[in-house]
Structure 1
Amino acid sequence: MNFALRLYKFMSSQAAKATPNLFFSPISIHATLSTLALGARSTTRREILQGMGLNDNKTDKELHECNRKLLQKIFKQTKDVNFNIGNEIFIEKSAIFFPQYQDNVTYYYNTSIQSISFSDTRNAIKTINTHVSKKTDNKIQKIVEKLDSKTMMVPLDYSVFQAKWESQFDIEDTEERNFTVNENKTVSVPTMRRQGLYRTFKDKEMKSYVVEVPYTCSTVLLIIVPELGNLHSFGTKLTPEMIKEYLSSLKNSMLDLYIPRVSFNNSVNVQFATLSMDMRSMFSGDNANFSKISKKPRLRVSKMCHQTYANFTEEGREMNAAAVSQSNYVFSNPKFKVNRPFLMLVYNKNMEIILWMGRVIDPSK
């Protein structure tokens, strides 16, 4: 959980300059960095592992076997969630990679190594984007936009999140409602509404509200709504202990819940975050040591890419009679309106792990 929150803090500070909304999969990024660590030696390996909060004194077998079992467990625990994550490493074709490295990343991370000529940048971009588009059923079509002819290695990862609510929202209750972006801006956005039993918590100290919206498995969407104008400050202070406290403090309450319909399909700057986490040598031709990947001198990471496709809409499983009855109370319930910038975490309660994380500042974007 520490890794996910550290990623969020660095990504959110950078993303604010490009896009108001942010959503990413820390599990997917963790797997990509792990594949790089598997091919690294010396300082490069140490920086990557320490940046992820892992013990660099452990052997490769100990570290990566642990990761392999964790990923298997995640996929098993989230069978009712479309947990489509993928990782690929595209390497300049002149850097012939060792078959053993390919075997290792396939075994531990189900990842493939792709040889490609970066001298023809236009074709390289097209090849990468076509590959990812096929892997994501055309949901992510442009994970890479720019490359140069000196590119050596591009590790990338992608994820698609689609899940069914335990109790769906009725599309007929979705209406245009106001969302306050900041003191000077209010937008009208499609907002879902449902009356039902939800778990909530008010953090008086941090002046924030929390609501848990369950999916059909042990995975939930945790929405945290700080005071207007305090989203960035709150995000920098968020800790694993706070999340655990929220989850243990949530209480059942009949609510009239309002959530804006939100979609994500934008890339995030993983490179900025990894540099901020002191993973530096892997980007330098003079300092990178990927001698377990290839004999090619000066092999380095030229660009890192991550993109997530996700839709938070009304859809969910067919409700049973009890659920239908519960969602159609005619008396007035307390209103929980997610109508200002908020944090969102897709969290698996059995494994106590953040699968996806992000923020929404302006749902109209």
Structure 2
Amino acid sequence: MQLFLLLCLVLLSPQEASLHRHHPRETKKRVKDLHVGATVAPNSRRDFTFDLYRALASAAPSQNIFFSPVSISVSLAMLSLGAGSSTKRQILEGLGLDLQKSSEEQLHRGFQQLLQELSQPRDGFQLSLGNALFTDLVVDVQDTFVSAMKTLYLADSFPTNFGDSAGALKQINDYVAKQTKGKIVDLLKNLDSNAVVVMVNYIFFKAKWETSFNHKGTQEQDFYVTPETVVRVPMMSREDQYHYLLDRNLSCRVVGVPYQGNATALFILPSEGKMQQVENGLSEKTLRKWLKMFKKRQLELYLPKFSVEGSYQLEKVLPKLGISNVFTSHADLSGISNHTNIQVSEVGSEAPMHL
């Protein structure tokens, strides 16, 4: 059984506040989540999902990379609703919106449609996602912002006493734990009393393979982390027909393993020494090409059982994609509140997975 829990957290506070939490844990195998993806905008000039992936991989070359493109892009799009001037422009352009060709309204309506579609009941697997807005009792949050959050992003809204840090912390953590069915608890370890707004996006995905691996066929085998480093892992195996392709341009093989229901996991195996070449070539265009090229082929597939987590302080990474103003004293978030000197102090992403 597979379990994917993905969450993005945005904290807004006066510019003197600084929040820190959760450093990524170093592991040995890099994993990219391809179960849920989103085209942020038509006519986009950049590919936000894979640009962010490459930025994260570059910042932590020896660590796992695991995140939800939907969670992060939705959180930034929500933030743009309350941003103005260059702050808004940087967020929208960072997400890939070509302001000369596409309208901001298309972006938000596109996410609204995506959220509505993904929230529909499904046969074969569990998928739930949502957004929430926690706002300080003493801060005058703009009604237009709250209304847009509810209408476009289906967001729950909760008044929160951030002056009571312990109480606010419990309120947010209890909400996240409930929405992720108890799989993410104590998301926040501490909360600065200067915080005035917290935005949360979560995704919960749980599914079984369409054809299960036989437990009796799972055996301890060698797994090569590097050509020099070998570890013993429980290795699942099964011979079956899978979607398969060999991409000679990127020097990799791709296998599609279906879940029960309308979902498929893509596993990408680079040729030896070609990991960076594959990473540099990943794009939405590449994925679409793969989906068209897939052919059914009889394979003996071996997959290690593993758990992986990704935890990021994205305020350190997003400036590499041109989104920097919002983290400084120059941030214009007047569409959220007329409270002076508000800026984003942290954008956190938390994503555990068990396979």
TM-score tier (shorter): 0.7 to 0.9
Q: For 2:278, give the aligned amino acid.
A: F
Could you tell me which amino acid in structure 2 is paired with residue 259 of structure 1?
L
Q: Which of 235, 245, 252 does residue 296 from structure 2 map onto?
A: 252
CA offsets per residue over residues 188-233 of structure 1, 9 Å max, x none? 1122111111121222333221111112333211111113444344
In structure 2, the residue matched to 1:192 is 236
Map 1:1-365; keep pairs closer than 5 Å: 1=39, 2-16=47-61, 20-56=63-99, 61-76=105-120, 80-118=124-162, 121-284=165-328, 286-312=329-355
Conserved? CA contact 2:313–2:346, under 8 Å: no
> Relative to structure 2, which stretch is displaced further, 241-250 or 38-47?
241-250
- Indicate the larger mover: 37-46 or 58-67: 58-67
In the alignment, the residues of structure 1 paired with residue 85 and residue 122 of structure 2 have an alpha-carbon distance, to the nearest angstrom, of: 36
Question: Residue 81 and residue 282 in structure 1: after superposition, are their counterparts in 2 closer, same or farther (change >3 A)?
Answer: farther
Contact 1:97 1:294 in 2 (8 A): yes
Deviation at 1:182, TM superposition (A): 1.1
Shift of 1:121: 4.5
Shift of 1:66: 2.7
Rounded to whole Å, the distance in 2 between the matches of 1:158 and 1:264 is 17
Structure 2 residue runs without a partner (length 5+): 1-38, 40-46
Aligned mates of 1:63, 1:82 — CA distance in 2: 26
Contact 1:282–1:301 (8 Å) recurs in 2: yes
Other structure's SS at 1:182 match: coil
Shift of 1:265: 4.2
SS in 2 for 1:287: coil
Q: Secondary structure at the match of 2:205?
A: strand
Q: Which has the higher contact order (CA 8 A, sep 6+)?
A: 2
Query: Which stretch of structure 1 is more off in the superposition, 291-300 or 86-95?
Result: 86-95
Matched position secondary structure for 2:330: coil
Q: What is the rounded CA distance, in whole Å, between the counterparts of 1:12 and 1:79 in structure 2?
A: 35
Identity value in percent = 30
Give me the whole-angstrom Cα distance separating, in 1, the residues matched to 2:268 and 2:110. Answer: 31
**C-alpha separation between the residues in 1 aligned to 2:119 and 2:231?**
38
Amino acid paired to 1:193:
S
TM-score (norm 2): 0.78
Q: Following the alignment from structure 1 to structure 2, what is the Cα–Cα distance between the partners of residues 41 and 81?
A: 40
My pick for the range that moved more, 141-150 or 130-139, is 141-150
Deviations along 1:2-27, one digit per CA (max 9) or x if unpaired, are 2221221122223446xx22322211
> What amino acid is aligned across from residue 136 of structure 1 in structure 2?
T
Q: Give yes or no for contact 1:144–1:305 (8 Å, CA) kept in 2.
A: no
Distance 1:157 1:270, change over 3 A: farther
Deviations 1:239-270 (A, max 9, x none): 23322332222222111111111333442333
User: For residues 160-203 of structure 1, what are the alpha-carbon distances to aligned partners after superposition, in whole Å with 9 as ceiling and x for unaligned?
Assistant: 22122221111221112211111331111122111111121222
Q: Distance in 2 between matches of 1:213 and 1:274?
A: 32
| Aligned mates of 1:93, 1:274 — CA distance in 2 | 30
